[in-house]
Chain A
Amino acid sequence: MTVEKFEKVLLLGSGALKIGEAGEFDYSGSQCLKALEEEGIYAIVVNPNIATLQTDPPRHGRVYFQPLTPDFVEPILEAERPEGVLLSFGGQTALNCGVQLADRGAFRRAKTRVLGTPLAGIRGTEDRAKFMELMRRAKVPVLPARAVYSLEEAREVAKEIGYPAMVRVAYTLGGKGGGVAWDPEHLEEVVGRGLRISPVGQVLLERYVGEFKQIEYEVVRDRLGTSITVCNMENLLGMRVHTGDNVVIAPSQTLSDAEYQLLRRAALRAADVCGIVGECNIQFALDPASEEYFAIEINARLSRSSALASKATGYPLAYVAAKLALGYTLSELKNRVTGVTSACFEPALDYVVVKLPRWDLQKFAHSDTALGPSMKSVGEVMGIGANFPEALSKAVRMSDPRSDLVPPPTPRPLEEVLPDLLPIRPEFLTTLLEALRAGADPADLARRTWIDRWFVDELAELERIHRAFGALEGGELPSTLLRKAKEFGLSDRAIGRAARVDEEEVRRRRLEAGIRPRMRMIDTLAGEWPARTNYLYVTYRADADDVTRVPAGSVLVLGAGPYRIGSSVEFDWSTMNLVDGLKAEGVPTVALLNSNPETVSTDYDRSDRLYFEEITLERVRDLVEFEHFRGVVTCVGSQLAQNLTPLLAACGIPVLGTAPASINTAEDRSQFGALLERLELPQPAWRAFTTPDAAESFASEVGYPVLVRPSYVLSGAAMRVIAGRQDLARFLSEAARLSPEYPVVISKFIEGADEVELDGVSDGKRVLVAGILEHVERAGIHSGDAIFCLPPRHTPAAVQADLRRAAERLARELQIRGPFNIQFLVKSGAFQIIELNLRASRSLPFLAKATGVPLLREAARAMLGRPLSREGIAPLPPHRWGVKVPQFSFLQVSGSDPLLGVEMQSTGEVACFGPTFADALVKALLATGVKLAEPGGTVLLSVGGLELKEALLPTARWLAELGFVLAGTEDTAAFLGARGVRGVQVLHKVSEPDRHPNVLEALDRGEVALILNVPSSLTQEKFERMLEDEYTIRRRAVELGLPLFTSLESFAAYVEGIAWLTNHPITVEPLYGTPEPGGKVRAAPRSVPLRGRRRR
């Protein structure tokens, strides 16, 4: 077969991580780049996601940190003139951008071809009417559904279909905005919201089939029409819950061959009729009591499910899809796992895979935790085992290492448990086990929850085994029961608790009885062919290891586990950069442990040995005992890995990098405070407390507000700024309950201070400062939620030098060997240290990319005891500004409050670069979907407290000058009027709907273009009603997709960006790249006259 030779191809990424579109696209994009690199193709990557691996300096190509919108991608097409463009590796974002580019003729003008599935096929899967027509041609049944454009239409159609009816929103992610309309009243709410959200003002109504099984197939098809299904997957919670929030099992467990093949054939026909070239995912609803089925939807692109399927089977879907898009046929490609067999085959599994979502709904105030058709999880893990309970138990511990898949210690009576089964909530597995412990009949549970009885029976078996330990005499641990328990995935800890035996004792007795997990390979062919890769998991249902021990001197790197609020793709970046660094430094084998199927690090050929396993003490010890690693790296896998440091050290396992004692000093507030005192480095007044009384007297002494937090912190969990005495008392009872082992720390909260971070790498002597980052918002907003910029805008050079000296003193004092991050407060030319993290931080990828210095390569040297190859400050190229902007997913989490604070809530981030702060900021804002308000539009200002109102004045005047119409809630409007800002319109309170013009009216009529809403949480003006009003405004802003700011400084920066746009075009330039082949010079910089274009 002849394959057309491409020289230059453009790849669209997926932008910031958000609910419904997360790290899986860094994985698919990275695999795609690997395929392009093999072909010698010059790859242009467009993706503003700073934390991804696919945007690292390329070996052969260029990277643009730009918004994934047609306005920005078209100039890149014009400048670069790639021969082909790949749209299916960047999720819905890339696909939508591609469709829009095609619609405006951009590909035609740039003479660029869409590679892979043709646009007609993509449109056919995206447009419901076309989809139904295609499925009719493929003889694949679909649910009777109708597209509606208005509420009246919806009522008519719902009458025909009957209630409950399913509402879906066209062209959105992760079921965003969709829902079940149980009755006409519900319909109004769900359809109303859907119509507001849909970019094409369209929602779909269809029959609700919540009780059906939800089965998915991943189909790969080449240009000749050869197609295979790589995996099928079954959703434990059926059609009732979005697949992103579902527990997914691969392969399906409850389907007969007849059903498996019925759906498989339908999947192949559907892919065929859509003309897929590459990969697609198809979802089916299958009646649990017959062979009736419907195709629900097709994703004509790589997806979360395809990433999962790749990891579940070892079949590199994205890599193969990229090769097929370039013109290869399936049979021309090799199976990369065996290296000898064809890629045209269907993987055979000899294990079971269970994907469990990770929800962080407790981080969102006011959020609704019921699971349904709209996705709410922020990450996922994948457990692998030889049976369902083993795989699921692992997944539960992967999702949270502190938890186990066991009933709660003191189960309630059955009649109290049963009502908690529905609606399904994130803790439903524990609820099911609790019900079983309380004597529930599995058949009854299956009937109530619509979970297939097979799964309930498996859980019941696990519950029986667990119960048997409780019936034992104290200290007894029969080895048959122990073995059975391990085969069902119970941890030593869970067994110990159930049998009232110390965990360590369980481990000792277990090893004595010769019960240890076996290392097993995922080889795609169930042992039929020898495999070359080292993609491994462990299981107790085996009696031999597939691999032998690694060579002496090898290292194990712990990954970061599931993506969650506060730990996301940036730690996968750190993990992989360190793995590469260690390899470059000559470590014989770098093994990796991680549990998250969305990551690049769990791509089996990125490390020498990949353990797809739980990141728990028990498992790490198992691996170390088997492999005899020289050391374990815990400083790149976020707080999850870092938390294991003291435990590993206590077991005598060497930890590479900074000594565990130093880490303890940095993490233990008392020790750290004492250290700073000794070094005479300033810090806010603080003290640790174990009693509320002492805490209150301290707070009164230093003066409110105070910052309250526990010692071991993960992304601000349980941390809060407290304004007054009453709040402190209330919060302390909660925080104390949250973390009994550690005292609560209270520190003076300094108002009006700037927050500045310093990242660096040290070898204990030398220090390389990666950069100093300044937050746009004042201290009080979690650094993960803050906008920050490089270089600092306000921090004086003298202060910057002070910060650097402080960092150097700490690095030498603590003998830091590896990456570190220090957070400072800066006010009136003086700094205070608030935190030191002896691990890779969230901001490290941003700094590495902005400066071009391979920071983790240096860290690898330090960790191996070698000196850094450079010190000082990593230089920032002249005329370069970098701005990082967080991405929020408030819309997906219904009810959540978009108010920012010390608790992190963002799900992702972007960074853009430019010659000025405003230029970079505007791009970064656009890249997170923040709209730019047009002069002439109305700005709603609502600011609590006199001090804040005062601070708003200059920005308000600036807005008026720019031609915006100002509006305010009563107090704010009155204040502005009194201070001479003219023409400020008054909008009456939400709680006074009879007074017009009213805030909500104005919002719903689309009369407001921009909102500033800064509540007075730090003052004593706490009227419940008022807070409720403010919340309503913020929530409505989210649902309407309006730009909303809850801090004055970020709002002022936004206005600065808007002002910049009035007389400057926005630059479109790659951040870096390699020389283009054929001696072509670098593409000329382009710019976008955003103003003109957007008025189109």
Chain B
Amino acid sequence: MLEDGTRFDGAGIGAEGRRVGEVVFTTGMVGYPESLTDPSYRGQILVFSYPLLGNYGIPDISARDEWGLPTYFEAPGAQVRGMVARGITRPNHWGSRQSLESWLAVETVPGVVGIDTRRLTQHLRSKGVLRGVICASPPGEEAPSTADLRRTLKRAPTYAKEKFLPEVAPKKATLYRAGRGPLVAVPDCGVKASILRALLSRGLSVLRLPPEAEIPERWEGRRVAGLLVGNGPGDPATLSGPIAALEQARNSSLPTLGICLGLQLLALSRGARTYKLKYGHRGQNKTVLFDDGRALIASENHGYAVDRRSLARTGLKPWATNPDDGTLEAAKDARGLVLAFQGHPEGHPGPQEAGFLFDRFAEKVRRRSP
């Protein structure tokens, strides 16, 4: 049930229980394992507008790549508060180890299926993002009353008030080595595994840091040669700790790449403003139009955006725009040392055409590294 009282009844799957969260929709047609484990969806109930889910099951949850990162997921476990789908199907895929249903149960995430997700999507599109409560009752039990659900909603904190950082950010630093590759510091506000892998597979070593920590000059004898600020959940303007850390790091003039929340934090640390979008950009078909007339398709998952007018005097310039609503899609500084992208160049799920940003960043880091 949404906070405006609109109710959608379906069938519960996965874990039983009741959760409150911000209800958001994604229009992506594949990539549900990646989306459901993306830390940016913390605190949110994710609605899939594509009507069939679970077709290729859930891959091996214990698989790890050569750096110890989850091979098929963006974080070791499910991140969403709840999941809403039109229908789920019996899976068949060589990589599948279990069904979406059974995995959600293991992950204690309640899901509801059999809901007209197009109507729900249209509702969210016209009303804007709403809070909602998802409730998967045990079989035989009567569905809860609207009044009952309304009480649950009232008691729960709002999205903006919630603190996600403690849930998703590491408490201590971890070093991932890509041979003798130069070192990139990653203050982690909930960064996706694929972003780290995008660096590691390009021969960059990664120092994953608590997001409020100071960016060190050296680590275990290696010089930090680059800075990547990744994605994560929550209202960026409330993340004062990470913003302060970035403000400080600015002096070191490191080659910097910001992704999603990272773009917003970099902008905020230089004095720009962010605002909440009506219903966000979540999908794999978003247009990013660069100022030279070229465009690419990007995977996106963000509910906030940087006010492009506020970029003046930050040293960052708008570089790309979403032609549909004019939101800022990319920014860079005059020297090209700082690149920031609102979408997800690493894909997972979705297109990876913006992956060239990683290449450019890696090149700069290498040049910087002795």
Contact = CB atoms under 8 A, between A and B. Distances in A.
B50 A348 contact: yes
A350 B117 contact: yes
Interface in B171-204: none
Interface in B11-37: 25, 27-31, 33-34
Q: How large is the interface on B (under 10, 10 to 19, 20 to 34, 35 or more residues)?
A: 35 or more
B323 A224 contact: no
Contacts of B28: 348
Nearest to A461: B90
Contacts of A340: 324
Interface stretch (A256-264, A395-403, A626-634): A256-264
A331 interface: yes
B289 A253 contact: no
Contact of B125 (A261, A330, A520, A528): A528
B3 interface: no
Nearest to A255: B30
Contact of B286 (A331, A345, A530, A544): A345
Given A386-B86, A528-B27, A351 B51 contact: yes
A454 B91 contact: yes
Interface residues of A, number: 57
Contact of B52 (A265, A345, A388): A388
Contacts of B25: 528
Given A341-B324, A345-B287, A528-B27, A454 B90 contact: yes
A268 B295 CA distance: 13
Contact of B92 (A329, A344, A452): A452
A830 B105 CA distance: 83
A387 B52 contact: yes
Interface stretch (B145-153, B238-246, B342-350): B342-350
Contact of A542 (B50, B119, B283, B296): B119
Contact of A342 (B125, B323, B347): B323
Contacts of B119: 542-544
B323 A256 contact: no
Contacts of B283: 348, 526, 528
Contact of A344 (B34, B94, B289): B289
B121 A350 contact: yes
A1019 interface: no
Interface string A414-457: 00000000000000000000000000000000100000111001
B49 A527 contact: yes
A227 B350 CA distance: 15
B166 interface: no
A457 B92 CA distance: 9
Contacts of A797: none
Interface in A496-531: 520, 525-530
A664 B55 CA distance: 49
Given A346-B297, A457-B92, A526-B27, A257 B121 contact: no
- Interface residues of chain B: helix, strand, loop or mixed (majority): loop
B349 A257 contact: yes
B122 interface: yes
B95 interface: yes
Nearest to A342: B323
A543 B9 CA distance: 11
B93 interface: yes
Given A345-B287, A350-B50, A454-B55, A256 B93 contact: yes
* Residue with the greatest number of chain A CB neighbours at <10 A, chosen from B51, B93, B117, B119: B51
Contacts of A350: 27, 49-51, 86, 117-118, 121
Contacts of B137: none
Interface centre among B93, B349, B353 (most CB of A within 10 A): B93
B351 interface: yes
A253 B52 CA distance: 8
Interface string A195-229: 00000000000000000000000000000111010
B253 interface: no
B51 A527 contact: no
Contact of A251 (B29, B94, B287, B289): B29
A351 B91 CA distance: 18
B314 interface: no
Contact of B55 (A253, A520, A528): A253
A544 B116 contact: yes
A329 B49 CA distance: 29
A650 interface: no
A257 B293 CA distance: 28
Interface string B73-108: 000000000000011011111110000000000000
Contacts of A226: 294-296
A528 B287 CA distance: 14
Nearest to B288: A344
Contacts of A228: 297
B86 A526 contact: no
A976 to B, nearest CB: 67
B284 interface: yes
A541 interface: yes
A794 to B, nearest CB: 61
B327 interface: no
A51 B101 CA distance: 53
B274 interface: no
A260 B28 CA distance: 12
Interface string A383-407: 0001110000000000000000000
A347 interface: yes
B37 to A, nearest CB: 12
A852 to B, nearest CB: 44
Contact of B121 (A254, A347, A526, A541): A526
Interface in A241-281: 251-258, 260-261, 264-265, 268
B325 to A, nearest CB: 9
A279 to B, nearest CB: 16
Nearest to B321: A331
Contact of B50 (A264, A329, A349): A349
B112 to A, nearest CB: 14
Name, among B27, B29, B286, the residue most crowded by chain A CB atoms within 10 Å (CB to CB).
Answer: B29
A453 B55 CA distance: 10
Interface string A686-714: 00000000000000000000000000000
A252 B31 CA distance: 12
Contacts of A264: 351
Given A256-B95, A340-B324, A387-B52, A526 B89 contact: no
Contact of A347 (B55, B285, B294, B296): B285
A285 to B, nearest CB: 15
14 contacts: A254-B92, A256-B30, A261-B352, A329-B294, A344-B295, A346-B297, A348-B28, A352-B52, A454-B93, A525-B285, A526-B283, A527-B125, A528-B121, A529-B125
Interface of A: 1, 224-226, 228, 251-258, 260-261, 264-265, 268, 288-290, 329-331, 340-342, 344-352, 386-388, 446, 452-454, 457-458, 461, 520, 525-530, 541-544
Given A254-B92, A331-B294, 20 more contacts: A253-B52, A256-B56, A256-B59, A257-B30, A257-B31, A261-B352, A329-B295, A345-B297, A348-B27, A348-B284, A352-B51, A386-B51, A454-B89, A454-B93, A526-B49, A527-B27, A527-B122, A528-B121, A528-B283, A544-B116
